Chain A
Amino acid sequence: MAIVINGSGTVTGLAVGGLPDGTVDAGTLATNSVDSAELIDGAVDDSHMASISGRRNMIINGAMQVAQRSSATGLTNGSSQIIGQVDRWRYNESGSPSSQFTLSHSSDSPNTFGNSLAMDCTTSGSGHNVVELEYRVEAQDLQGVGYGTSSAKQITLSFWVKSNQTGTGNVGLYRLDNTPRHAAGNYTISSADTWEYKTITYAADTSQAVDNDNGIGMKIWFTLGAASNYNTSTGDGTWGGYADGKRGGGMTLDLTSSTNDYIKITGLQMELGSTATEYEHKSYAEELALCQRYYQRIEASDGDFYVMASKGQSTDATRFAQTLAVPLRASPTISQGGGIGTWRVFRPTAAVITSSNTPTTVGFVQNAGFVSLQINGFSGISDNYFYGTSPAFSSSGYFDMDSEL
């Protein structure tokens, strides 16, 4: 069909596919020839923008790449809030479950991912209200959703899942600030032992703002087992007050009933709007840095691997600034393990002295690249003298700084 340009400049008679590849190029479109007047609202929808719009995913480590706690072992009942090998993910339970699980970093994944989070039932049981995988979103990272305002937006969760069971699962969202709000959504696993892609959209919520701070803004619950009184509704994605019955609402999955039970999850993305877009992959270095806001492990393979300038604190302790990979969210808990052995203090004119104590955080500044630690338990320190303090690690030794939500 011919292309006709009439006297008013209108182009008519142009069939779909009428412009062959290369017809419209930089030479065809003069500067500013396509401006906001031509691109009216909705002219290009979200699905065509996904590949060029960045930072859509509000989840850190959604591809389960980062697993700093590689030595974390099995979970037992009563170990609620234990964070397993995969950064940012924890086990949560309520009630008195007799079932037990392991939470591990798996290399089993869909083709476009390298890892997944695996939760395996090692002892079947009952007695729980709920058994869940939990992820926590920092409050200040949720401000773009506009909760509690007239501009509140929908959010969509997408993820890959694999399990030995088929049936309906439940993913709950729970906001703690002000009056708590709770929404639950359902997904269905159709084929056992097969990776499947799922999406759930949650309604906009104009009630109850999320505080703009470094606290917990939202908990995301992947419920794996729920008692009958925790399964009294359906997961329709709408918000309301907290309700036990939503925690497992609509579920038919029960991953506590057999030692064959497992679930693997990866590619978790939470984004604005009602459309799930392709997973926003980040580099390992980028994901690691994001995870390190909440947890950092210092490992070394040799004694006296590094020495920190420090000051004597009374007669039994030294204080020093431990460099951070990135600023931590909050003042960290310190633990050590893997045969760390002792901390050593080097003195200018005297022999090395040691302490097997764990350091304690005694100084923390938001957004600073260091944290002030103190180790007690030395003998022979002089107050305010200058020393060198070193972690005398064995080959598998480490110490952890934990600022998780």
Chain B
Amino acid sequence: MVITNAKYIKDTKTDTNVGVSATIDGQLYNIPLDTDNRHYAEILEQVADKKITIAEAD
């Protein structure tokens, strides 16, 4: 997977991150913070491999 523009999504009510927005192979996805989710698992792997970073939410 080619992952770019990874950025946390924040719930402004609780001021906590609820997901990650990322472009994967050219398509925008909103990804839950759940390691059973294949996209989130891949993001964590690429972060660990220092291929990508996840930006803070706006």
Contact = CB atoms under 8 A, between A and B. Distances in A.
A290 interface: no
A405 interface: yes
A403 B27 contact: no
A80 B1 contact: yes
A376 B36 CA distance: 24
A338 to B, nearest CB: 12
Contacts, number: 80
A310 B13 CA distance: 15
B9 interface: yes
A333 B9 contact: no
A360 B37 contact: no
A405 B21 CA distance: 19
Interface size class of A (residues with CB under 8 A): 20 to 34
B49 to A, nearest CB: 15
B36 to A, nearest CB: 4
Nearest to A72: B27
A85 B28 CA distance: 18
B34 A359 contact: no
A215 B37 CA distance: 10
Contacts of A332: 32, 37
A334 B38 contact: no
Interface string B13-49: 1000011010001011111101011111010000000
A335 interface: yes
Contacts of A404: 38
Contacts of B40: 333
A394 interface: no
Given A315-B12, A317-B11, 10 more contacts: A80-B1, A81-B38, A316-B12, A358-B21, A358-B30, A360-B9, A360-B32, A361-B30, A364-B34, A376-B12
